[in-house]
């Protein structure tokens, strides 16, 4: 039974994150854990023995058809969190390495094979439909609703299909669906590393500190891309700073939002097919999986088919006879003037404030993408004991001064007193 709470919004978020971290410590491969109320899970039709009703409940992902968590409610003290540890295309020879999902706020995931007319998943929860972020955050301390995904180090690229958009990760990425004026869009925001995103035969990439926007159409449980992904833009660093990265097994520094000049350099490299590494604010090529070092010369599908250990084939009903999906890189990246922030900011496309238009084009002054000193701590949370120096000082207001600030750790910002 839920009881009225006297705690503040920020206290609810802190309590929810701590409870989820403690309750889901023992979660294993291909399991789903009820982290904080309210969460609901619908079993697959053939499953009869299924219990997912209270904090700490753990079920097999193969038994799950859909999972939903509820948004923040200051009266009841609820802020739903569900955690998953998934194999996806991680090789069987690495049983201790898993991809981590953390879904929170007003968020719902439905496995793709649960939707009529959609091919079955290559691996449990590797292809799914995401609904999230209706209404955004409900108070200043609360993260916006969505899904955090983190891949383990040293396992190569991880492939997902979210809302029929192919995504390749070697990183920590935040996914959300935002309702806009007359449409909806999925935002892919990279906190560290990089993410390749392919939709409508167009391949784009979000490096740390940037977001991609993909227009989507919603039809019941089915959400699908309605247009190609836009070219990358700087994300809303203040919104990213509130995400519950404490629940991820690998500690990270949330990258600073890129400046306009840095975003322009990334776009130029995407258009030319150059690697997105070894250039000023970009990470060292040696720290990235092979596909990210090679630039955009092959499609996501081709990158995976070249590796038999990690081979993944998505079975498209429309494309069953054409396995040679050569993806064309969009060369018109600089045709639009979208240097403003559009990702992750309360549904405000173009006014989140991280890059107010007066940013300098100094592409060498920001070291925000340097995430190479992360430790591989599988403990599932807590504060970051490292002396991390990659703090953007709270995000949006630091447009032109990209110096690093050691006074505030990314893992505690925006939630009051989480900094140990």
| pTM tops 0.95, yes or no | no
CA distance 231 to 233: 7
Confidence of residue 331 (pLDDT cuts 50, 70, 90): very low
Angle at 122 between CA 121 and CA 123, to 5 degrees: 85
CA distance 352 to 375: 31
351 versus 51: the higher-pLDDT residue is 51
Query: What mean pLDDT comes out for the span 46-55?
Result: 93
Using CA atoms, how far apart are residues 121 and 302, in angstroms rounded to an integer? 18
DSSP code at position 146: E
- According to DSSP H, which parts of 137-259 are helical? 237-241
pLDDT tens-digit readout, 360-405:
444 333 444 444 444 444 444 444 444 444 444 444 444 444 444 4
Cα–Cα distances (Å) from 320 to 115, 121, 309, 315, in that order, read 19, 15, 22, 7
- Per-residue confidence (pLDDT) for residue 238, from 0 to 100: 94
The string over 215-244, giving b where at least 16 C-beta atoms fall within 10 Å of a residue's C-beta and e elsewhere, is bbebeeebbbbeebbbbbbbbbbbbbbbbb
The token pair at 278 is 């070894």
**Domain boundaries along the sequence of the chain:** 9-329
Nearest Cα residue to 369 out of 195, 175, 187: 195
- Residue bearing the bigger pLDDT, 149 or 282: 149
**pLDDT greater than 60 at residue 212:** yes
Average pLDDT over residues 218-235: 89
pLDDT > 60? residue 1: no
The mean of the pLDDT values for the chain is: 74
Strands 64-69 and 39-43: antiparallel
What DSSP string runs through 73-138?
BTTTTB--EEEEEE-TT--TT-TT--EEEEEESSEEEEEGGGSTT-PPPSSTTSEEEEEE-TT--S
Q: Is 247 helix (H, G, I), strand (E, B) or coil?
A: helix
Span 86-124, pLDDT tens digits: 999 888 888 888 999 999 999 999 998 755 545 555 688
CATH architecture of 9-329: Sandwich (2.60)
Q: What are phi and psi of 269, to 5 degrees?
A: -70, -40
């Amino acid at each position: 039974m839920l009881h009225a709470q006297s705690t503040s919004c920020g206290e609810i978020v802190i309590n929810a994150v701590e409870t989820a971290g403690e309750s889901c410590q023992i979660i294993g491969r291909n399991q789903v854990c009820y982290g904080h109320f309210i969460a609901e899970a619908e079993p697959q039709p053939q499953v009869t023995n299924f219990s997912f009703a209270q904090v700490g409940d753990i079920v097999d992902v193969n038994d799950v058809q859909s999972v939903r968590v509820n948004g923040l409610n200051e009266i009841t003290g609820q802020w739903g969190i569900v955690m998953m540890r998934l194999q996806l295309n991680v090789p069987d020879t690495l049983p201790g390495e898993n991809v981590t999902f953390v879904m929170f706020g007003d968020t719902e995931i439905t496995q793709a094979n649960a939707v009529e007319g959609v091919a079955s998943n290559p691996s449990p929860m590797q292809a799914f439909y995401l609904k999230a972020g209706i209404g955004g955050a409900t108070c200043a301390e609360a993260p916006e609703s969505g899904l955090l995904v983190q891949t383990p180090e040293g396992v190569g690229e991880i492939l997902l299909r979210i809302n029929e958009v192919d995504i390749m990760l070697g990183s920590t990425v935040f996914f959300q669906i935002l309702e806009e004026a007359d449409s909806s869009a999925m935002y892919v925001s990279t906190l560290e590393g990089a993410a390749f995103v392919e939709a409508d035969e167009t391949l784009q990439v979000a490096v740390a500190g940037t977001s991609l926007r993909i227009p989507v159409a919603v039809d019941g449980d089915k959400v699908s891309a309605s247009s190609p992904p836009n070219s990358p833009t700087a994300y809303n660093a203040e919104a990213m700073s509130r995400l519950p990265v404490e629940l991820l097994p690998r500690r990270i520094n949330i990258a600073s939002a890129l400046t306009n000049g840095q975003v322009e350099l990334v776009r130029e490299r995407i258009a030319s097919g150059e690697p997105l590494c070894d250039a000023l604010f970009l990470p060292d090529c040696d720290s990235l999986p092979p596909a990210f070092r090679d630039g955009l010369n092959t499609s996501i599908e081709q990158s995976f088919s070249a590796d038999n250990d990690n081979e993944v084939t998505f079975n498209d009903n429309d494309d069953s006879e054409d396995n040679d999906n050569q993806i064309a890189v969009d060369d018109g990246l600089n045709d639009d003037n979208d240097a403003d922030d559009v990702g992750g900011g309360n549904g405000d496309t173009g006014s989140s404030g991280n890059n107010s238009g007066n940013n300098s084009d100094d592409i060498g002054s920001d070291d925000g993408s340097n995430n190479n000193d992360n430790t591989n701590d599988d403990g599932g949370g807590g504060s970051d004991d490292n002396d991390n120096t990659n703090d953007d000082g709270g995000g949006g207001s630091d447009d032109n001064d990209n110096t690093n600030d050691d006074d505030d750790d990314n893992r505690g910002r925006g939630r009051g007193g989480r900094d140990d």
